[in-house]
């Protein structure tokens, strides 16, 4: 849970200041929101009767176990790598960072990557990889039946609840993917218009 709070805070801050693209931030945050909505459903659906507000929040009554998928763990690692890369790129534009004792290291790293254009290309590649793994990771919860194990004895009910929970993820995260794609397309069109204005 702590990694979710950290990721939400960092992604939100970097998107607000423009260091991280809005479509990618939407995808990253939307995946976590989608999984949270599904978790609320799984908890409620699998909680033994009587279903009360107090019992819902009583975690001494386990009703489901969540097992993160392998791609989800890799995705978290890559997202943290992207955050670190994005924050490091911002240092290259900060005169006080470049003139500090580590400034020479920053500039030599920038030169190794092919200058400012190379740094931006690297950031774009890492962003693309994170977008792909975030999408795959979110959708993997739809087809990986073992990701959430509902506790109890009624196998038919467990199967039905598991299917519904996976469909909640499919619907919510599918909507997020479509929204992120629309935002990406809008940004692409805006960039093309800006490029045309510069050429004129």
pLDDT digit string (tens) for 52-104? 999 899 888 888 888 888 999 999 999 999 998 888 887 777 777 777 877 77
Q: Which of 168, 2, 17, 165 is nearest to 86 (CA)?
A: 17
Query: Residue 194 — left, alpha, or beta (φ > 0 → left; ψ -120 to 50 → alpha)?
Result: alpha
pLDDT in tens, 90-140: 777 777 777 787 777 777 877 887 877 888 888 899 999 999 999 999 999
Rounded to an integer, the average pLDDT of 158-175 is 91
Question: What phi and psi, each to the nearest 5 degrees, are found at residue 148?
Answer: -125, 125
- Burial of 156 per CB tally in 10 Å (0-12, 13-18, 19+): exposed
Which helix (DSSP H) or strand (DSSP E) does residue 148 occupy? Answer: strand 148-150
Q: Which of 27, 25, 2 is nearest to 14 (CA)?
A: 25
Residue 184 has pLDDT above 90, yes or no: yes
**Average pLDDT over the chain, rounded to an integer:** 88
Query: For the chain, where are the alpha helices, taking DSSP H only?
Result: 2-16, 22-46, 53-56, 70-92, 95-98, 103-112, 115-143, 155-199
19 three-state secondary structure:
coil
- pLDDT category of residue 156 using cuts at 50, 70 and 90: confident
Please give the distance of CA 129 from its chain centroid, rounded to a whole number: 12
Output the pLDDT for position 4: 81
Q: Are 41 and 148 spatial neighbours (Cβ–Cβ below 8 Å)?
A: no
């Amino acid at each position: 849970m702590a990694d979710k709070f950290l990721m939400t805070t960092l992604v939100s801050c970097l998107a607000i200041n423009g260091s991280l693209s809005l479509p990618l931030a939407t995808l990253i945050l939307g995946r976590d929101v989608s999984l949270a909505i599904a978790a609320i459903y799984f908890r409620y659906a699998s909680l033994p009767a009587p279903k009360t507000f107090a019992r819902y929040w009583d975690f001494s009554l386990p009703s489901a176990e969540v097992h993160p998928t392998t791609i989800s763990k890799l995705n978290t690692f890559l997202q943290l790598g992207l955050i670190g890369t994005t924050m490091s790129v911002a240092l290259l534009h900060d005169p006080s960072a470049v003139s500090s004792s580590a400034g020479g290291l920053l500039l030599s790293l920038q030169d190794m990557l092919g200058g400012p254009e190379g740094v931006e290309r690297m950031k774009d590649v890492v962003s693309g990889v994170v977008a792909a793994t975030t999408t795959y990771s979110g959708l993997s919860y739809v087809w990986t039946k073992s990701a959430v194990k509902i506790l109890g004895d009624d196998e038919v009910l467990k199967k039905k609840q598991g299917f519904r929970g996976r469909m909640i993820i499919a619907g919510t995260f599918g909507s997020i993917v479509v929204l992120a794609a629309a935002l990406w397309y809008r940004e692409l069109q805006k960039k093309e218009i800006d490029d045309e204005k510069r050429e004129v």
